[in-house]
Chain A
């Protein structure tokens, strides 16, 4: 049974792939038989790309159900990774053959030769391969190991580093914290930036000076933002609490209260990224054609209606772009701020996914688990981007 199980998996995968691609091909009037053959190959290969290196360890008898579930998940992902691009590739080839004029940028001004472009691209490609692609693959390998820096050996543990995350309280906590802090940074950051941009994009005297004065915090590093707010939020010497005490009579434990600490990080991060957001919204607002706004006002819409039904939708490509950039910032670059400001926070209240990776991998020297967490984080980022694309991408209105 155990020897035939892998074979069974691949046969099933091949069948699924064959059916899927046959169906897809039929829809674009290409031979379904061809689709079936290619699909079978793609399905089989896809189901193997994760299972072979793992040696099917997720299905071993000593393992629990969750390992098997994870194994099935990996097979599914593997198949998707192979079948879907194959599908897309063949479709584009077919489409291009049918409409020779479709797509493709004119290459009228091209230089001759194919060696030179390779030479020009070589440094970029080499660096990207060595320092980005290779470590990515290595992260996958690491995530299947129990490894510590300086230890005598490493141990293959299959997908334990992943399945243990499900029951890891600290990890789940960092998930929640990350979503919370990121959502706050995005929403607050964009809302404030839009409000300020509405004031600053207008053609008034000294507009350029205002813009510089608003945007420069972009050049401040997350670390310095953390340091400065460490001073501002200090319980005894910080003026934020001093002001709050004098005006409202309250003092907030910004740095040692688990409910307040995330807000300290959020405020410091929004402050720093405000400039960047303002810059883009100003550019966006300036590009909203005056004609459209005039037309809307003639139609009888008041300022608020004009804003919400005309201007805001026209800003959607910028908003979309800024949501992605701010989300990336909140996920990754807040690390410097958090490290200096709260060190992961009282009671892990500011321990984001990225910070947790650092704590687990470097401070606690558990390299395998940190690699697994990195992969999950990466998948999360890609997932969120795709979701963003789907929801706003379709509604993105590029204007007149």
Chain B
């Protein structure tokens, strides 16, 4: 009696387990991104749910990883084990690595001549100029831009106004002048300004001076074989930062806890500094930090070297890459999802949620219509900065192999230049040598 009952139960469980398998005829489309916060990961997962409802034959799932480096490692691992997903979010400096890895396929190639995928329109021209420029390599639109940002400047206007500074500084000289006034206040903050010691800012300030980061057209004409960290622009930059540190204006965020960005956050929100260079991706956070703590935050263009003038700024962020070798169903499902993520409404909503630039012209028009930029002036700064940038080889951004490693060479050089008495020129020369060795080794192992 007990045995037959057991048998029935087992059979029922088996049936229950099997039935969903039969019912599930959907195609799995795994998407891996490098966000784990509720805000951004949650938004992406919501879009996946929407997409799945519109196209029930697909099952898009979004998985979050702590950061780009981890995602990078996970992707390499999955490639070795043959378990790659359909879409991976790679940050912009890993572009050469992505191309060399062989994991991915350019999106334009996958779309081919089609003008729509399952009814979702294909329109590459809708992308904002610099964005489209950056992600088109060898004339082919390679990856889908998603979270694009630029480096901008946040100012605590409450403090600046008290010091008699009406508008945020636009050049390095103006930073110096503003800091003189700010630090003279009785209630002066501990320091005047800061920035995260991340290679990206170094690249931004170099590009502004129209200096290229690597040879062969910044790596865009041909594979880059040499970097040019040691140029006039970088000497000027480090000399300026050194002076600012010596005067007590610059708060060096160093490598505290390995988290330079967090240090800047803490310094700005506790009003230890009056100004901070930061990524526009945190426009929302920084504006709110002001309102939460009772001071006014105004965003402005990243100050430039008045001696050389301003050429333009780089974009930063990441894009979504399509994995190569997928079956047609999975690929189409992935393509559709990628296109829908940048639909006008979605691109606009993503911008409003985070502060990342609205990557399409139509999204920007929608936001202007809604009066969004009028109500939230800080949010248009990055887009304006990009729109007003002159597109040169320097401001198109560099494509180099082993860029992440080269970035740490740069960060270290900034560390050394600021924290020791070593002459700036020597530091940069040494850094250039180190970076070139890294690049050489990379190319030895990866160049065709």
Contact = CB atoms under 8 A, between A and B. Distances in A.
Main secondary structure of the interface of B (DSSP, over half): helix
Contacts of A344: 255, 258
Contacts, number: 85
A341 B405 contact: no
B1 interface: no
Interface string A314-346: 000000000000000000000000011111111
Interface in A122-163: 146-155
A236 interface: yes
A343 B408 CA distance: 13
B161 interface: no
B307 interface: no
Interface stretch (B38-46, B124-132, B413-421): B413-421
A146 B419 contact: no
Contacts of B79: 150
A67 interface: no
Contact of B441 (A146, A258, A347, A363): A146
Given A256-B252, A343-B259, A363-B69, A152 B416 contact: no
A150 B76 contact: yes
B100 interface: yes
B294 interface: no
A364 interface: yes
A118 B100 CA distance: 49
Nearest to B77: A149
A295 B254 CA distance: 59
B436 interface: no
A343 B257 contact: yes
**Interface range for B:** 35 or more
Contacts of B420: 347
B402 A347 contact: no
A155 B444 contact: yes
A146 B446 CA distance: 11
A236 B76 CA distance: 40
A230 interface: yes
B257 A347 contact: no
Contact of B256 (A149, A255, A359): A255
Contact of A148 (B69, B256, B445): B445
A305 B256 CA distance: 46
B254 A152 contact: no
B170 interface: no
Contacts of A348: 412, 415
Interface in B92-130: 97, 100-102
B308 interface: no
Contacts of A339: 258
Contacts of A363: 69, 404-405, 408
B100 A256 contact: no
A258 B419 contact: yes
Interface string B173-192: 00000000000000000000
Given A154-B445, A365-B402, A343 B415 contact: no
B137 interface: no
Interface in A226-252: 230, 236
Interface string B15-47: 000000000000000000000000000000000
Contacts of A255: 254, 256-257
B415 A347 contact: yes
Contact of B100 (A146, A152, A155, A359): A152
B350 to A, nearest CB: 30
Contact of A342 (B101, B258, B415, B446): B258
B68 interface: no
Interface string B255-286: 11111000100100010100000000000000
B442 A343 contact: no
B438 interface: yes
A371 to B, nearest CB: 14
Contacts of A148: 402, 441-442, 445-446
B94 to A, nearest CB: 10
Q: Among A151, A341, A343, A362, which residue has the most Cβ atoms of chain B within 10 A? A: A151
A256 B264 CA distance: 13
Nearest to B442: A148
A283 B202 CA distance: 57
Contacts of B412: 348
Contacts of B444: 146, 155
A204 B126 CA distance: 81
Contacts of A359: 408
B257 A155 contact: no
Q: Count chain B CB atoms within 10 A of each CB in A150, A258, A341, A364 and give the residue with the most.
A: A150
B254 A256 contact: yes
Given A149-B76, A258-B419, A346 B446 contact: no
A344 B255 CA distance: 8
Nearest to A235: B256
Contact of B445 (A152, A230, A258, A364): A152
Contacts of A151: 100, 442, 445-446
A365 B405 contact: yes
A146 B254 contact: no
Interface string B312-331: 00000000000000000000
Interface string B403-445: 0110010001001100110000000000000000010011011
Contact of B97 (A150, A236, A343, A347): A150
A237 B7 CA distance: 64
A152 B99 CA distance: 12
B415 A346 contact: yes
A155 B444 CA distance: 8
Nearest to A362: B73
B445 A155 contact: yes
Nearest to B97: A150
A21 to B, nearest CB: 44
Contacts of B445: 146-148, 151-155
A184 to B, nearest CB: 21
Contacts of A362: 73
Interface string B291-313: 00000000000000000000000
A275 to B, nearest CB: 25
B127 to A, nearest CB: 29
Nearest to A236: B270
Given A148-B445, A154-B445, A343 B258 contact: yes
Nearest to A154: B445
Interface in A339-370: 339-348, 359, 362-366
Contact of A343 (B255, B402, B404): B255
Nearest to B101: A150
Nearest to A340: B257
Contacts of B69: 363
Contacts of A340: 257-258
B257 A230 contact: yes
B255 A236 contact: no
Interface in A194-219: none
Given A154-B445, A363-B408, A236 B258 contact: no
- Give the top 5 A-B pairs by smallest Cβ distance, nearest first: A343-B258, A151-B445, A256-B254, A364-B405, A150-B76
Interface of B: 69, 73, 76, 79, 97, 100-102, 252-259, 263, 266, 270, 272, 402, 404-405, 408, 412, 415-416, 419-420, 438, 441-442, 444-446
9 contacts: A146-B445, A147-B445, A149-B76, A150-B79, A339-B258, A343-B259, A345-B255, A348-B412, A365-B405
Given A340-B258, A348-B412, A363-B69, 17 more contacts: A146-B445, A148-B446, A150-B97, A151-B100, A153-B445, A153-B446, A230-B257, A258-B419, A342-B257, A343-B256, A344-B255, A345-B255, A346-B254, A346-B256, A346-B415, A348-B415, A363-B404
